[in-house]
Amino acid sequence: MTYFVTQPCIDELDLSCVDVCPVDCIHTEEGTDRMVYIDPDECIDCGACEPACPVTAIYAEDDLPDDQAAFAEINVLYFKDKDAARAKVPA
């Protein structure tokens, strides 16, 4: 299981989650990305990022709300094709 970043992070980019991640699996390109992304291959399911998020944008895979399900794909895609993932982030 992994964690995913969802819509409330868009244009928020607080980065508190990055500061608490023990394995540095949360990534963003400053000035390019509108949100952060969690690498599912690096995430160790520790959950430290979830309570650190001030906008409640991070969910465990099993707790992902139905209306945010597309963000699971977006987070995974980011680590294969950043431009394609960025294109899927809602305006």
Q: What is the mean pLDDT of residues 57-75?
A: 97
Residues paired with 27 in a beta bridge: 37
**pLDDT tens digits, residue range 1-39?**
899 999 999 999 899 999 999 999 999 999 999 999 999
The reported pLDDT for the residue numbered 91 is 84
Q: Domains of the chain: which residue ranges? A: 3-88
Tell me what the mean pLDDT of segment 61-81 comes to.
Answer: 97
Domain 3-88 CATH assignment equals 3.30.70.20: yes
CB 82 within 8 A of CB 37: no
| DSSP per-residue letters across 23-89 | T--EE--TTT-SS-EE-TTT------HHHH-TT--EEEGGG--GGGTHHHHHHHHHTT-HHHHHHHS
pLDDT category, 87, cuts 50, 70, 90? very high
